A and B are shown apart, each in its own frame.
Chain A
Amino acid sequence: MTRENEFVERWRDNAYGCFSSGHKFCREVCPVMQVTRNENHTPTSFHASIVAMEKGLVDVADVADDFVHCTQCGACELRCPNTLFTGDFYRHRTETVKVVKAMRALMVETGNEREAWKLWNERLAANHNEPVLGEVDVSQEHVADWADGLDIPVGGETILFVDCEAAFYRTSYTRAFAQLLQRAGVQFGLMREQWCCGGPAAEMGYLDLARTHAEHNVADWRAVGAKRIIAPDPHDYIAFTEDYPAYFGDDYDFEIVLGVELVAELVRDGRIALTEPVERTVTYHDPCRLNKRKGVHEAPRELLRAIPGLEFKDVDRVTQWSYCSGGGGGLPVEKPEITAEISRRRVQRAQDLEVDALISACPWSERPLSEVGTLEVMDLFELLAQSAGIEVGGHTSAEARA
C-alpha cells in the first residue's frame, strides 16, 4: 500500500464526517480564511482533499499549498457541529489539526516540501534550536544566555523548559517567568543541553526531526533525574502533552506543568505578592494553544484581575475563537504576509477597545502582534513581574539583543 493510500485509509471516515455534512461552520472562525477568503484554505476543503484523493481527483502535489494555510489554532474543531453535537454520543471529534500535520508529513515524504520550511528545519537540524534570529544562527552555546545573573542551577527534579523564541528572541518573557518562580521560592533547574521541543518541526511535517529532538530532551531530563517539567510556553505544552506521549507511550511519566497555571496558583496562595499598581488599560489575547487547544482561559484572566490598578477590558474566550496572531503552525515561515495581516486585524480589535496595551501569554504570538507597531504588546508574565516589583531585564526582540 502506498503512503498516500495509508493516509487516506487512516483519515477517510473522519473526512467523510465533514464531507457528508459540509456545513462549513468552521469557515468564518478560521483566522487564515478570514484573510484569504479562499475556500481551499478551509478545514472543509482539507477534509474534502482526502475524499478527492481517494477518488483519484487530486494528489499530494495538488493540495500541498492549500495545507500550508493553517496555524493549527484549533478553532475549526471547536466550532465543528460534528464535535459539538455528536461528540459524546458517538465519542466523535472532528480531527483537523492532526489531519493537517499528517498531510504535511506526507508532503515531506513524497517530495512535496515547501522551500522555507525545508530551510528552517535544515537549520534546526544543524543547530538544534529554531532559527528565530533570522540570518544570525542560534547555538547551544547561547541557549541559556537569557538567564544571565539569575543564578539558576542545572538539573534537579523540576526542570524549566525554555522555548526557542523565548530563549533567544523575547528573553524578557522567560526572565519574568523565572523570577516569578524564584520570588515564590519554587526550586527548579535548567537542562544540561536544551534542544527545541520538536513541536514546530512536527507541525511542518518533519516527523523524524521532531522525534530526534524529543528523544534528546527526554534523555536529558532522565539524566538529571527530572520528574516534573515546567512549560511556560503553550506550544511546548502541546508538544509535551500531545506529541511526546504519542512517541513514548507509557514510559513517558513526567508531570508537565503549564506555566500560567502554576503562577496563578502561586498568586492565589500568596506566594507571589502583586503589590505594585499598574495604572494601565489592557485587553487580553487568548493564545490559541491555551484557549482553543487546551481550554485554558480562566487562569490568565484571574491573574490580570489580581493586578492592582489595572483596568482590564475583557473579550470573552468564545469570541476569541476567531482571533489569532497567525504566529503558529509554521505559517509565518511560509506565508509571512498572511501572518502579518492576521496580527494586524487582531491588534485593531484591541485598539477598538481603547486600551494602551495588548497582553498575550504566548511568545510566538507576541512577535507578529508587536510587529504591527500600533499598540504595545506585553506578555502576561512581564506584566505580573512588574506588579511584583521585579526588574525583569532581557529583551523583546532580536534588535534589542544586538
Chain B
Amino acid sequence: MIAALDDAVLDELRAITGDADRVLANVSSRAFRTRVPAPFPVHRWGEHMPQVAVLPTSAQEVSEIVKLANRLNIPVVPRAGGTGLSDGAVPMRGRGGILVDVKLMNRIHEIDLVDRTVTVGPGINMLKLNEELRPHGVFYPDDPASYPCSLVGGRIGTGGWSLLGSRFGHTRDLVISMEVVLPTGEIVEIAEGGGRKLRKSSTGLTLKHLFTGHQGTLGICTEATLELVPRPETEFAAFFAFDDYMKAHRTTGALTKSGLATLAGVVLFDEWKLRYLRRDDEAYIPQPEDVRSVIAVAMYGRRAEVEPASKIVMELGRLNDGRYLGDEISQGDWASRHDRYATPLHGRTLDGQAVPMSWHCEDAALNYSVLPQVREEWHAIVDRYIREYGIFDDWGMFAYTNGAYKPWADYLVEIDVGIWEQRLDETNWDAWVRCKREISEVSLKYGGSMTACHGATREGDAELVPTEMGSSWEVVKRIKRALDPNNVMNPGKQSMDEAYE
C-alpha cells in the first residue's frame, strides 16, 4: 500500500488550507479516492492510492498546493466528481501524490442574465446548477449520462460529451472561459482571447480548447464561466425499430443529414445491444424477435420549430422499413436515458449465471461510413475474450451523434463490456487490458479516435496515444514540457512521460 506523505509536508499543506480537516492523510480518505466507475484493478487497489487528499476552497489554495508539489517534486492529481470512465482522476500505479479534490469549490459566483453566463466553482454538479437556474428560464445544457453526479471541473478536464451536444454543444462549446492553476502554480485566465464572457475571439492563441480535455495534465480549473441557454419550450423524441442493422444505419444517415437545426441527438442501437436489453434489462419493453436494431431521435426547441420538424423526422424514420415504436416508449425511454447509463450492472457468465459486473464503456469517435465494419470487428474481439476468460460479457453497442451542431458525419461509438471485478487478478486484468487495446487499435485502423470524451488515460488506450496523435505528438510533448517543467501535474497520463525522455 502507498504510504501517506510525511508529517512535514502534511504540516505545510495544513498551513496552506488553514484547516487540518481539509488535509486527509488517513487510509480511508486515500483509499476511497483511488478509483472511478471505470473497471478497476481491485486486486492491487493499494498501489493506486494517493499519499494525501486535500480539499481546497480557493484558487489561491490550489496554487499554493501546486507550488509546494513543484518544490518537492510530488505528483498532483486533480479530482472533481471522480465519475469518469477513464483514469484521469486517480493516481497512476505506484506514484501516489497529492490528490486535489475540488468538491468544496461548488459555489455559484454569478448568474448574468444580460450577457447570458453563469460563473461557478469546479465542484458544482449540473443537476444542482440547473435547479438554481430554472427559476430564471435558462439552463446549462451539458447533459452527460452522469448528469446527476458528475461535476463541472471534471467535465472540463476530460472534455466531456453531452447527450444533447448536437443541438447545444458539448462541454468545451459551453465553457466560455475559466480560471486555471497552471502546473507551476500561477493562476491564469483562459478564454478564447481576452474577455471572460466572449464566445469568439481571434486575439493571441485560442487557449480555451487546450485547457478542455487535457485530462488534468495541464492544470486545475478553479472557476468556470458557462453558457446560459433558454430553456427549450418543447421536446420531441421518437424511437424506430428495424429488422436489420444496415437499414437502421442508412436511416441514421438520412436523419442526421436532414438539416434540422433542432436535432439534439440520434442514437443507433445494434443487434447485440437489443439482445442484451431483451435478456437482462428490466426497463426494456419487449419487442418482437425481428427487431434487431433501434434508432432514437430527440429534438429540442421552440414549438414553432420542433412541431413541423417532427413530421419530417417521422417520415425519415420510417424509411427503410422503420417502424415507429409509439409515444410511450419514445417519451418514456428517452426520459429515462440518464438512468439507463447505470443499467448494465449485472452480466452473465457463459453458462448464463447472473453476476455483478463492472462496466467498460468504449467511447471511440468514428465516422459514419465505418460503423458497420467496426461493429463486427469489435464484437469479434470481445467474443474471443469472453470464451477464453469467462469473466467478460458483451452488452452491445450504441452510436451517438458526436459533432457539436454538426450531427451528420461522426459518432461516439460505445461497446459496453461487462467485467466480473470480483475475479480480477493479474492474469485477468492483463487480459482485459489487451482486449481494450485491440478494440482501440480497430478504431485507429479505421481513421477514428480512441476516445470521444472519456480521455485516453486508461490502460489499453494510454500507450496508443502517441500512435493516434502521430505527427502532432511532438507538439503535445513540447507543450506539456513547457507548461509543466517538473512533470508534477497528473504525471504519466496519456503516455506524456515521453515528453521528459
Contact = CB atoms under 8 A, between A and B. Distances in A.
Given A28-B149, A38-B55, A22 B340 contact: no
B357 to A, nearest CB: 6
Contact of B345 (A13, A17, A28, A40): A17
A23 interface: yes
Interface stretch (B63-71, B98-106, B380-388): B98-106
Nearest to B103: A37
A52 interface: yes
Contacts of B127: 28
B35 interface: yes
Interface in A300-336: 319
B29 A40 contact: yes
A54 B104 CA distance: 30
A20 B149 contact: no
Interface string A209-242: 0000000000000000000000000000000000
Contact of B28 (A16, A24, A66): A66
Most chain B beta carbons < 10 A, residue from A39, A79, A89, A319? A39
B396 to A, nearest CB: 16
B218 to A, nearest CB: 24
Given A48-B31, A58-B28, A13 B81 contact: no
Contacts of A16: 356, 421-422
Contacts of A19: 42, 421
Contacts of A51: 42
Nearest to A38: B55
A24 B359 CA distance: 14
Interface stretch (A80-88, A199-207, A373-381): A80-88
Given A20-B345, A39-B82, A62-B27, A88 B45 contact: no
Contacts of A29: 148
B1 A57 contact: yes
Contact of A28 (B36, B46, B104, B125): B125
A2 interface: no
Contacts of B478: none
Contacts of B357: 20
Nearest to A67: B28
B146 interface: yes
A87 B343 CA distance: 11
Given A81-B345, A85-B342, A57 B46 contact: yes
B7 to A, nearest CB: 19
A38 B45 CA distance: 20
A395 interface: no
Interface string A1-41: 00000000000010011011111110111000000011110
Interface string A150-180: 0000000000000000000000000000000
Nearest to B354: A90
Contacts of A13: 356
A45 interface: yes
A21 B359 CA distance: 7
A82 B358 CA distance: 12
A306 B359 CA distance: 50
Given A28-B128, A37-B123, A39-B101, A79 B358 contact: no
Nearest to B81: A24
B33 interface: yes
A23 B341 contact: yes
B406 interface: no
A39 B341 CA distance: 21
A225 to B, nearest CB: 46
B101 A79 contact: no
A84 B148 CA distance: 14
Nearest to A44: B32
A350 to B, nearest CB: 15
Nearest to A26: B149
B73 interface: no
B282 A23 contact: no
Nearest to B44: A55
B296 to A, nearest CB: 17
Contacts of A79: 148
Contact of B35 (A22, A23, A27, A66): A22
Nearest to A59: B27
Given A17-B356, A62-B27, A81 B422 contact: no
Interface in B316-356: 339-343, 345-346, 354, 356
A339 interface: no
A52 B46 CA distance: 9
Interface string A264-282: 0000000000000000000
B340 A23 contact: no
B287 interface: no
Contacts of A89: 280-282
A22 B36 contact: yes
Contacts of A87: 282
Given A57-B45, A58-B31, A81-B339, A25 B55 contact: no
Interface string A58-88: 1000110010000000000001011011111
A110 to B, nearest CB: 16
B32 A90 contact: no
Most chain A beta carbons < 10 A, residue from B149, B281, B421? B149
A56 to B, nearest CB: 9
B83 interface: yes
Nearest to B79: A39
8 nearest A-B residue pairs (beta carbon): A81-B342, A89-B282, A22-B37, A37-B103, A20-B358, A45-B32, A24-B149, A37-B104
Given A22-B40, A28-B127, 8 more contacts: A24-B81, A25-B339, A39-B101, A39-B103, A45-B28, A52-B31, A86-B345, A86-B346
Interface of A: 13, 16-17, 19-25, 27-29, 37-40, 44-45, 48-49, 51-52, 55, 57-58, 62-63, 66, 79, 81-82, 84-90, 319
22 contacts: A13-B356, A17-B345, A21-B345, A22-B40, A23-B341, A24-B149, A27-B149, A28-B149, A37-B106, A39-B101, A39-B103, A48-B35, A55-B43, A81-B343, A81-B345, A85-B281, A85-B340, A85-B343, A86-B343, A89-B282, A90-B346, A319-B131
